[in-house]
Structures are given as C-alpha cells and as structure tokens.
Amino acid sequence: MMSKVYQIDNHDEAYQIWMDNGIHNAVLFHIDAHKDFITEKCEYITIGNFLNYAWDKGLINTIVWIIPTPSFLCANILAQLIEEMEVNFTLVDQSKRMLKFVMNSHRVNEVIITTMPNISFVEESLSSDIPVLVDIDIDYFVNPYVHRTYSNDYPNSFWTKSESVYQAIQSLVSKCDLITIAKSIYGGYTPLLFSFISDQLYAMLVNQTDYIQEYVYLEKAIELLNMHNYIEASKLFEKVIHYPNCYLSAITGLLYSNLFSGRTDKVRKYYSDLLTGYPQYEPYFFPVHPMLKSDHFVQAEQLIDSWLHISPESNQANLYKVKVFSCSSCYFKMGYQLYLDKIDDEETKSEKSYVMADYYLKLHLYNESIECCEKVLAYLKNNDSPLWVGQISSYESRKNHGNILAFLFEKMAIAYYKSGDFKCAQKYALMCKKIGYKNQNPQAIINTVLEKRTS
C-alpha cells in the first residue's frame, strides 16, 4: 500500500498530522540534524519539542533518530549526545551501529540513535506489528553535525543527497503508515538554495523513482556554484527555472551565481523576482540569519553589504546591518543611524525596536532602551507572535510570548537599575523571575535588584 506523504513548512506540523491520522504507539524514524525533543518542561509546542508531545499523547513509543553519519563517527559529538540524553534517559545499549536509551520516567519510551546505513539493522530488531512513521527534515542534507543549530558553511553544500536517502528507506516506505517532509526554511535551518529537496523527495516517494532529471541539474548547478564556476552554474539554473518545483532554488542560485560573478543588473532582476514571488522568505534570501546566530559577523556583514548594494532600501538588509553592530564588538561603530533610519518598525513587526533596546543598553542609553522595550510590549499585546521572537511553532498564535517577555523584562530591569530607578527595576526583575527566565549574564544584576528590595 502506498504511504501517505505530506510536505510541511515547520516540523511541528507533523504532530497534528499524526493526531489527525489516528496514530498510536508507533515507532518513528526521525531523519534530522536536530533531535526535536528536550529535557526541560514544555510550555508550548514548537519545532524543538513536538516529539515530547507525541510521547505524552501516546502517538509514538520509540524514536529511531537517524543522525548525519559524520556526527555518529565523531567521538566528541557522541559523548556530548550521551551526556545530554542521560538527563532524562538511561543508556542501555551501545555499539558501532547504534545507541539505545530508555526514558527514566516512562520505560516504554525509548530512543535509538543510528545512521542511514544502519536503518535495516535497527528495523530488524523492532516488532513487525508496530505502526511505522518516517519523518524527514530537509536540514539533514546540509547540516552534518548535530551539535550545530545551523550549517556553518557558506556557500552550503550537500553532505548527502536525496537519492541516497530514498534508497536507504525503501524497506521502511513499503510498510510505513505515513511520511512527513519538513522544509524548515523559516528560521534559516534549510537554506533557500536547497528548498527543492522537499519536492524532490516527495516526487521520488510518490512516483517511486530515484531519478528526476531537473533535480539532477539543480544538484550539479549547486556543485558548480561551490566550485566558483559561476557561469556554468548559472546556465544549469537557467535550464530548470521553468520547472515550478525547481523555481525557488533556481532563482536563488541565479541570484548567487550572478552576484559572485559581478553581473549586477541580473542580480537586481533575480532579487526582484524573489521578492515578488516569495516575500515571506526575504529574511532568508541570503543566509545572514544563521551566520549572526553562529557569531560569524565578518562573513555576515560582507553578505549584508552585497545585499544593500542590490537593494539599499531593504528593511531586512538594513535591520541585519544594525544587528551586526549590536551583536558584535563593533557596536560603537559610527554610521549605524544611516541604516537605522531606513528601517520601518511596523514592517519588521517591532524587531527594530527589540534590536535597538539591546543596542541602547550597551551604549548606556537607558531611557532609549526602555522606550524600545515598551514599543515591543505594545506590539505583542495586540498581535500574534512574529517569527523573530523565538522558537518557531505552528500552534497557539501567542506561543512565544513567554520567552520574549522574559528577555524584555530583563532588559527593562537592568536599564531601570542602571538609571537609578530601583522601584521599577524591582518590578521588572520580579516579573522576569516569575516567568522563570535564567540567563547567567544579567542574573547577577537581577539578583542585586531583588536583594535591594528585601534589604
């Protein structure tokens, strides 16, 4: 029987699909560079913890986490994984092929960590009458190391390809109940250049074939791009741009290949095409977000400057430029106002104010920092959580407010304390503590504020 195959934007959407299909006590083959379950208490469903909810609801009992082979072969990464897992699990079996853990609080639940070549070995050890789910995150193909949130290489490249994964899971596909494929573009986990992999895998699974010509062209074009052969890469991207399921990756590839080869007029055209067709992905037109999150400020700023050369009025590019100032040691650098003036706070859903709250705090401009925090609080009071506030979720529109409020109250407590308003500092420190936010850097100041209250 043909498995049901679903493509989803954010990975936690798989949870609802399993619920809707009446899945119960299944074994999940989770092909991902991230484990997607956590050791802390869950307050709301996100892409980082939806498997905890699947366990709690009895949708799954066993997770077979297929991690990238380079991670499994690295002794340091495995040791780190074991240490993380042993917070809530007990390691009961370890071999060259797999690690097996059982949950301390619910011994029926288990996690098996292995690699793609060992799927059949693990499959043979499981009961044949248990429902089987296959769950694939596209970031698996470009992020070979599970201790990294993002792939830190740019231009990104494959460490494995769809054909290899399709062949490895053939025996599973024939017996599984359903398959979910997460694109994971939001948040910057899967670079736009590789967005085609979701459609490629879907076509392979539905059509039961591992060779589709247009996707082979795309793979080759990306390889040429990474070899700095921009002209030939551009020709192959042009070859597949008229295939609908290849368009986003192809237009992104044309943007990059023409940018790196200095063809500015073409770059502006392709950028305009991207902005017209995919405005929701503008923060990810260039992989600046993961670079900033990984503290690669110099590399990020080079890309941002190229971006600003193409589109000097872009809210997103100018916001990223200000983020570089705020995140790195160059935040006293002159000229930030030039970029700040081009950013519309409403267009960025108050992210401009949030960035500037931290920026002003570093510059000891405490009243300005407090004012920015209040702007963000006013926005959150009347709107759903925008993507920038934290962990992405497809559930509960206000799902992220807890974390972002804690960050804001922390900044306000520190700003009021530094400006001498101890009463307001105590108020926001208490609110921050009530939420349960613990960041070691400002914690000492918050504790000082609270101590002053009781003394």
**CA of 331: how far to CAs of 64, 154, 322, in Å?**
45, 25, 9
* pLDDT score of 453 more than 80: no
Token pair for 176: 């599984």
Q: What is the pLDDT of residue 440?
A: 41
Residue 445: pLDDT band (50, 70, 90) is: low
| Range scoring the smallest mean pLDDT among 104-108, 205-209, 441-445 | 441-445
Amino acid at 135: D
Mean pLDDT of 131-155: 86
Question: Residue range 418-437: average pLDDT?
Answer: 81
Check residue 117 and give its pLDDT. Answer: 94
Q: What is the pLDDT of residue 337?
A: 83
155 pLDDT higher than 80: no
The mean per-residue pLDDT over the stretch 307-321 comes to: 94
pLDDT tens for each residue of 222-251: 999 999 999 999 999 999 999 999 999 999
pLDDT at residue 167, as a whole number: 93
In CATH terms, the fold of domain 361-455 is: 1.25.40
142 phi and psi, to 5 degrees?
A: -120, -5
